[in-house]
């Protein structure tokens, strides 16, 4: 019976391959299929894990650290990446065996899915709306629309002419917005000793994916390890060959920004930028490189060493307002008391950020991820997921470019009151937010007069990704509509400081809204529709997207 099934499966694969060969010019291809129809169901498992919450004191910041996830018997079970949509919903991914664990209650319970009997791991995950996409040491892009209950896979071999001899690894997936996303990695053609960098792109929220013909990356035979997208067009990547490149046309043409050689050679595997000028790259060699002019010049920063003189490898970087947090691994010291460090932008010094003086809490030598979420910092190492507070006044996670001195703000139509004027009769608006403002002891300003204004959202962030765009803000009465000048479908996906208000991410829903309060605004959603534009009613203290 198994032989018959194998023959039938082989026939289906052959027919599928033939069909792909006859339509090679038709790209991108749709290729998502139910996971149970593609993978060996004998090794596809699902389980629910309950976690017992523990905590310890961070000796570096004197803040409490919660352990949201812990593995007792690790073996080859480890985690390489994570992505959280909000404080409750998140996913961690790793291996061995292509493993995901998804929580929707802030780590109290986790739904585990395993897709392989082999040692291949997942490396990265990302949200696009409610959909989770996961990639790793597999030709498949995995996707779930319902937090891990049902899965489908996209076979990326269909995108390549020599797919019968093609092997690949995908290291990073990020979305610029809900529609546009990129995947980077490594490809190898068996029998021809040919390896190359891989970049995939989607423009329809992950439904279809296409390859990018990336001129200028021909010698990147080790693959692209990480990237940052300032917009759909402007992207910077780092490679395992020790180089960094920049593209300003969506990845079609690349210009070399940085190259390590000689004693400075390092396999780069992490990149982060505070804005389009200030950035850090780091990698397996333990060196950190810093730029203040968009990559034209780089300065080497030495990382701490262990007792044997080994440098800490850079695994991930997160910028805050005045510093950057860096997760590290030291192979010579499997357990240690510190593995997260803070880089001060002003004086380029490094000090410990996460330290345990509790002998019962020793960090694993491998660490792979760090993310800011609602004033907290989430940190992932091999076995554990930690959450700790960050001092907001000094370490507020930054999601936008430093505010320009002359930010563009021009009226689209004439109004009775100048665009920068305030309406004194907005008492209802004031009453709606006074409680929050008084509690935070922040000076309160009213929203602008009725009218339409253009705001230059020159550097924005949505779901950890960046974009560049202008938005049109329509103010009428106590409502504010946010309209995109270039793409109306992206109206709820902007974040930056505005002159009279702040476009901020709502920390309960992940949506964007305007507020004159520097804290996140707690508004309740109303209406049955989703999408854009976003309407905010300050009288009802509610909002909707339609």
With contact defined as beta carbons under 8 Å apart, do 64 and 388 qualify?
Answer: yes
3-state SS, residue 125 = strand
Q: How far is the CA of 406 from the CAs of 293, 369, 484, in angstroms?
A: 20, 36, 21
Cα–Cα distance, 117 to 130 (Å, whole number): 28
Q: What local confidence, expressed as pLDDT, does residue 342 receive?
A: 92
Q: What local confidence, expressed as pLDDT, does residue 10 receive?
A: 36
Cα–Cα distance, 10 to 4 (Å, whole number): 10
Q: 324-378 pLDDT, tens per residue?
A: 999 987 665 456 778 899 999 888 889 889 888 776 676 765 678 899 887 789 9
Cα–Cα distance, 532 to 483 (Å, whole number): 8
Residue 489 has pLDDT above 60, yes or no: no
Q: 497-526 pLDDT, tens per residue?
A: 333 344 444 444 544 455 444 343 444 554
Q: What local confidence, expressed as pLDDT, does residue 160 receive?
A: 78
3-state SS, residue 8 = helix
Q: What local confidence, expressed as pLDDT, does residue 407 receive?
A: 25
At residue 166, φ and ψ (nearest 5 deg) are -105, 130
For the CA atoms of 181, 183, 184, 188, the dihedral, rounded to the nearest 10 degrees, stands at -150
Q: 130-181 pLDDT, tens per residue?
A: 999 999 999 899 999 999 999 999 998 888 766 556 678 999 999 998 899 9
With contact defined as beta carbons under 8 Å apart, do 493 and 482 qualify?
Answer: no
With contact defined as beta carbons under 8 Å apart, do 170 and 136 qualify?
Answer: yes
Cα–Cα distance, 529 to 6 (Å, whole number): 47
Residue 262 has pLDDT above 80, yes or no: no
Q: Look at the block and give the residue holding tokens 């504010």.
A: 480
- Average of per-residue pLDDT values in the chain: 70
Q: 51-89 pLDDT, tens per residue?
A: 877 888 888 888 889 999 887 665 556 788 999 999 899
pTM: 0.67
3-state SS, residue 17 = helix
- Structure-model confidence comparison of residues 286 and 401, the more confident one: 286
Q: 399-454 pLDDT, tens per residue?
A: 332 322 222 222 222 222 222 222 322 333 333 333 333 333 323 234 445 555 55
- % of the chain at pLDDT higher than 90: 28
At residue 242, φ and ψ (nearest 5 deg) are 85, 30
Q: 173-221 pLDDT, tens per residue?
A: 999 988 999 999 998 877 667 788 999 999 999 999 999 888 899 888 8
With contact defined as beta carbons under 8 Å apart, do 398 and 274 qualify?
Answer: yes
> By mean pLDDT, which of 122-136, 429-443, 460-474 is the weakest?
429-443
List 126's β-bridge partners, or say none: 133
Q: What local confidence, expressed as pLDDT, does residue 23 receive?
A: 36
> By mean pLDDT, which of 308-312, 396-400, 514-518 is the weakest?
396-400
Q: 221-242 pLDDT, tens per residue?
A: 889 999 999 989 999 999 998 9
With contact defined as beta carbons under 8 Å apart, do 534 and 494 qualify?
Answer: no
Q: Look at the block and give the residue holding tokens 């690894």.
A: 169
Cα dihedral 149, 155, 156, 158 sign: negative
Q: How far is CA 285 from the centre of its chain?
A: 24
Cα–Cα distance, 176 to 469 (Å, whole number): 12
Residue 3 has pLDDT above 90, yes or no: no
Look at strands 384-389 and 63-70 and give their pairing: antiparallel
Residue 492 has pLDDT above 80, yes or no: no
Q: Look at the block and give the residue holding tokens 């004031």.
A: 430
Q: What local confidence, expressed as pLDDT, does residue 200 receive?
A: 95
Q: What local confidence, expressed as pLDDT, does residue 74 receive?
A: 54
Q: Look at the block and give the residue holding tokens 């292509």.
A: 98
Q: Look at the block and give the residue holding tokens 């389980």.
A: 47
Cα–Cα distance, 68 to 145 (Å, whole number): 23
Cα–Cα distance, 378 to 81 (Å, whole number): 11
Concatenated DSSP letters of 379-435? EEESSEEEEEE--HHHHPBP-SPPPPTT--EEESS--SS-TT-B-TTTHHHHHHHHH
């Amino acid at each position: 019976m198994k032989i018959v099934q194998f023959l039938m499966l082989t026939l289906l694969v052959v027919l599928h391959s033939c069909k792909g060969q006859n339509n090679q010019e038709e790209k991108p291809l749709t290729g998502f299929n139910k996971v149970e129809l593609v993978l060996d169901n004998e090794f596809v498992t699902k389980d629910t894990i309950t976690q017992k919450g523990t905590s310890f004191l961070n000796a570096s910041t004197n803040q409490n650290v919660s352990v949201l996830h812990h593995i007792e018997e690790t073996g080859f079970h480890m985690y390489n990446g994570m992505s959280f949509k909000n404080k409750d919903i998140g996913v961690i991914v790793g291996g061995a065996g292509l493993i995901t664990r998804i929580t929707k209650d802030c780590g109290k319970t986790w739904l585990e899915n395993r897709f392989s009997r082999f040692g291949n791991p997942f490396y990265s995950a990302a949200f696009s709306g409610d959909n989770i996409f996961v990639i790793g040491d597999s030709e498949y892009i995995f996707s779930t629309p319902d937090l891990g209950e049902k899965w489908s896979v996209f076979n990326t071999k269909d995108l390549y002419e020599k797919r019968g001899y093609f092997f690949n690894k995908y290291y990073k997936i990020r979305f610029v917005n809900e529609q546009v996303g990129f995947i980077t990695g490594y490809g190898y053609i068996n029998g021809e000793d040919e390896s190359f960098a891989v970049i995939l792109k989607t423009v329809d929220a992950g439904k279809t994916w296409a390859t990018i013909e990336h001129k200028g990356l021909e010698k990147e035979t080790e693959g692209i390890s990480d990237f940052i997208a300032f917009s759909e067009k402007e992207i910077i990547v780092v490679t395992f060959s020790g180089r960094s490149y920049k593209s300003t046309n969506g990845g079609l043409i690349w210009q070399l920004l940085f190259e390590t050689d000689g004693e400075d050679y390092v396999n780069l595997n992490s990149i982060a930028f505070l804005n389009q000028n200030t950035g850090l790259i780091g990698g397996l060699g333990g060196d950190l490189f810093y730029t203040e002019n968009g990559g034209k010049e780089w300065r080497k920063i030495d990382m701490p060493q262990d007792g044997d003189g080994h440098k800490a490898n850079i695994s991930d970087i997160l910028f805050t307002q005045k510093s950057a947090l860096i997760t590290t691994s030291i192979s010579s010291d499997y357990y240690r008391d510190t593995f997260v460090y803070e880089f001060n932008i002003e004086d380029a010094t490094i000090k410990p950020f996460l330290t345990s003086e509790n002998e019962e809490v020793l960090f694993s030598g491998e660490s792979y991820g760090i993310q800011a979420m609602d004033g907290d910092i989430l940190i992932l190492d091999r076995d554990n997921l930690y959450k700790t507070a960050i001092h907001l006044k000094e370490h507020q996670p930054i999601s936008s470019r430093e505010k320009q001195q002359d930010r563009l703000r021009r009226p689209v139509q004439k109004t009775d009151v100048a665009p920068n004027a305030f309406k004194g009769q907005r008492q209802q608006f004031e009453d709606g937010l006074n409680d929050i403002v008084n509690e935070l002891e922040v000076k309160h300003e009213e929203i602008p007069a009725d009218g339409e204004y253009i705001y230059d959202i020159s550097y924005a962030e949505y779901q950890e990704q960046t974009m560049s765009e202008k938005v049109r803000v329509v103010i009428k009465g106590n409502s504010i509509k946010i309209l995109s000048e270039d793409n109306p479908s992206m109206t709820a996906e902007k974040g930056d400081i505005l002159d009279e208000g702040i476009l901020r991410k709502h920390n309960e829903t992940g949506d964007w809204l305007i507020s004159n309060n520097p804290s996140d605004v707690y508004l309740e959603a109303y209406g049955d529709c989703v999408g854009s534009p976003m309407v905010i009613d300050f009288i009802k203290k509610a909002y909707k997207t339609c």
